[in-house]
Amino acid sequence: MPVLVVKDGPGPGTQVPAQLQRIPIPLLSPTSDCTGKTVKGRVVHKGPLVSMGEDNYVLKTVIQEEDSQQNMSPEHSSINIILFGALAKDYSESVSQADMLLVTGFTVGNSPTAQKDKLHACNLQLAGDDAWMYVWPSTVRPRASVPRKRTSPASTEVTRAAKVVKYTYVPLSDLKPGVVVNVYAVVTFFKQPFRTKGTDYCSTLKITDQSNKKVGCTIFCDKLEEHPKIFKMGDIIRLHRVKTQLFNGAISLLTSHGFSVVTFDGTVGSPVVPRTSSGSFKFGEEDCQVVEALRTWAANQSLVPAEPCVPLSAVQPKTYFDLTCQLLAKAPVDSSCTLLKVWDGSKCPHPLLDVFVEPNTLEGSRMLSKDMANLTANVLVYDNHVEVARQFKPGSYLRIYNLHAVPGASRLPSNDSGQSDQTEHLGFHLHGGTSYGRGLRVLPEDSPDILDLKRILETFADSDINDSSMFEVWSTPPESFERTCDHTVEQVSLAEVKSRGPPQVFHVQVQLKSYQPQRLYQSLKLFCHKCKTIRDVPDDVTVGGLFSEAQKDVGPCNNGYWTLALPLPREPPSESPSRTLTLLMSSQLMGKGKEKELIFLKGATLEETCRIASAYSNIVPVTSLQGTMTLLDLSAPFLFRGTKKYYGCKQCSQLKVGESLGEGVKVWDEESVADALGVQLLQYGLLMKLELQDGTGSLEALLWRDAESFFHVSAEDTAADQEAQDRVQETMDRLCPPGSSTAERPWMDLCLSAYTVEENGQRRACYQICHTDTRSTNPYTHPHATPSDT
């Protein structure tokens, strides 16, 4: 097996076995004894790799001795070397013109071309296991900055010498059939790996380079992670050891033995970060330059058609597009279809199809809030893609290729009773097959497109914070209003409201100019009656994280509870740790035959907890703390009742988990459970800021204490119930139709309570909408009517 040794720097080094003896090239003759001899020179010519059939190659090269005696003519210090077999291939891939070469294990023959090329009358022939080459890459070319593997081959263990590091890359236009080559190129088309009828996965690519030749490339590999990580057209690809092949009259590339691949982002100016699963790939400055050259070249070629990546906000019905998004939840629909709930932070102008699935089949966050805001796209993936989607975890970032936006999308059997008006709703289908690159994959969290996406998604979190800070400014609204308004109070203008000042109740006739938050789910808050703080409802990703965290505690908790441990079957991947679900029931309750009325659950995911909660009346997720049962962090719900979740105040709760339970409790509901556990129960509330206007000016007013009667919903319901959410949305759409001018908005009779807030020693007037039911408010139906002036 011929192996080439690389050594940095010029001149012979200690790596060449010392017992070898060098022969000056001019002294070589067909009668020379070549055993234990070496010849050394610089590569002045490197011929093409010529294929002589399967795995048999020939390559001719010329080296010139540089330190020959001066009286020797250059002709006689240059000699042809003929390389055979695998050595020829290795040489072709590893050695460049101007490299320094030392060969051993050769035979000397007569050069048939001596007359013509005026070189040495002899040539050197290298073949078989005895032939060896040592290469010192030229110092003229840029060098790899990564540390090279410098295995010093001990004389006894020469065969363990390091493989050569340098590769040569063939322009696509120069490819000849039947050779193994290395290429660098730009990806102009690709399919994500798909299962073949054979043993491997297959990636199909089309690539091109500065030679403008377009070449198809088929990659077979049984390991998915060894397939090229291509995220979009325009990515750069480096292929090592691919075989050229004539197919349909054109050259194509196919994986061959020892194949490897690295890919790079194709964006000009972005960092050159190799994407590979291989731990031993070689990558240096030269690669950076090649990548950057390809990027620059490609940027001026319009190789990539119109940007296939489209945000939800720009999706046109009936089109195919690529979607970059975050997976919120998924649910199997049937054996050939899986539902993925995704979002990209942009709002689709078309109403999105809501695919209803049984809550207990949904993995991940329910994201009702985002559904409500028309932010969640329901993607149905079919057939071959189901297997791929099965590996995805909610929270991960995906790109879905060639997604079909289908208006009035198909009705799923389970969806018949859901939305009656389907015609306007956009559904998304990833059809089966791989035509047009249809497929999907996870994108790494640090890839540029995902960093962009994360920034967008984070603005949602930011606006949550802004909502909270908005109410710090407004201070905690007063709990109750002494004055009541039955709208018999004299109606005044907003200008008068401002001039009269607090404390007072006013009756006004106004239009809605604007409101916050625009994303209505953000108006849902948790309120503590004791400390008066308002907090946001955590999203399911956050809560899911707390559950995962709690699962890490595998210790027992034995404080007098009756325990039922349920080992769970391992989930793929098989190396995932095994888990146990533990149900703990109060012995006290058990004595009264009421043990099922309150169940503590340990080791479950959020999803499992929700599922179990649908079957039992009160589920309290717990974990163990030094052998004692304890509640999860109070950022997570402490109680699940059906589809409802209840939270406790971190500040005001004084937990007494594990103490006696159920003395005097007749009915277990959220209040009695909270009492028994020492939890200060938080109330759900709706909080909005409305900007009101009439002919005399505008004024900002909070909607908080009476928000539930304003919308005719219970805030608690809006946390778990789509219908309640829709009602809030409908009310706001009626008062402030999207895209409407202020003249088109209805007039409302409102009751405003003015009160004083002290902040940093400064007093200012604040206003809150009270005693107003938007149903009984009877908004004016004449949009252009002017409010009566009083």
Partner DNA sequence: GCTTAGGTTTGG
Question: What residue ranges bind DNA (CB under 7 A)?
Answer: 188-189, 191, 196-200, 202, 204, 206, 216, 218, 220, 245, 247, 252, 254-255, 320, 336-337, 380, 382-383, 402, 404, 406, 410, 429, 431-438
> What tokens does 10 get?
């010029």
113 vs 336 by CB, closer to DNA = 336
40 vs 206 by CB, closer to DNA = 206
383 vs 726 by CB, closer to DNA = 383
Q: Distance between CA 647 and CA 674 in Å, rounded?
A: 9
383 vs 496 by CB, closer to DNA = 383
| Contact present, 613 and 641 (Cβ < 8 Å) | yes
15 vs 255 by CB, closer to DNA = 255
Least distance to DNA, CB of residue 262, Å: 20
**DSSP, res 616:** S
Question: Looking up tokens 């597009």, which residue turns up?
Answer: 321
Cα–chain center distance at 762? 47
Least distance to DNA, CB of residue 742, Å: 42
Cα–chain center distance at 32? 65
Least distance to DNA, CB of residue 562, Å: 47
Question: Looking up tokens 């003929």, which residue turns up?
Answer: 82
Q: Distance between CA 150 and CA 137 in Å, rounded?
A: 13
Q: List 108's β-bridge partners, or say none.
A: 124
Instruction: Decide the pairing of beta strands 37-46 and 57-64.
Output: antiparallel
Q: Distance between CA 80 and CA 61 in Å, rounded?
A: 6
Least distance to DNA, CB of residue 149, Å: 27
Instruction: For Cα atoms 618, 619, 625, give the angle at the middle one, nearest 5 degrees.
Output: 135
Nearest to 103 by CA among 156, 61, 157, 154: 61
Q: Distance between CA 673 and CA 681 in Å, rounded?
A: 9
Least distance to DNA, CB of residue 225, Å: 16
323 vs 674 by CB, closer to DNA = 323
Least distance to DNA, CB of residue 239, Å: 15
Question: What's the full length of the chain, in residues?
Answer: 790
Least distance to DNA, CB of residue 198, Å: 2
Q: What is the DSSP string of 722-739?
A: HHHHHHHHHHHHHHS-TT
Helices (H), 185-308: 285-299
154 vs 250 by CB, closer to DNA = 250
> What tokens does 642 get?
């059906």
336 vs 484 by CB, closer to DNA = 336
Q: Distance between CA 172 and CA 95 in Å, rounded?
A: 19
Least distance to DNA, CB of residue 381, Å: 8
Instruction: For Cα atoms 11, 14, 18, give the angle at the middle one, nearest 5 degrees.
Output: 110
242 vs 632 by CB, closer to DNA = 242
| Contact present, 203 and 192 (Cβ < 8 Å) | yes
Least distance to DNA, CB of residue 190, Å: 9
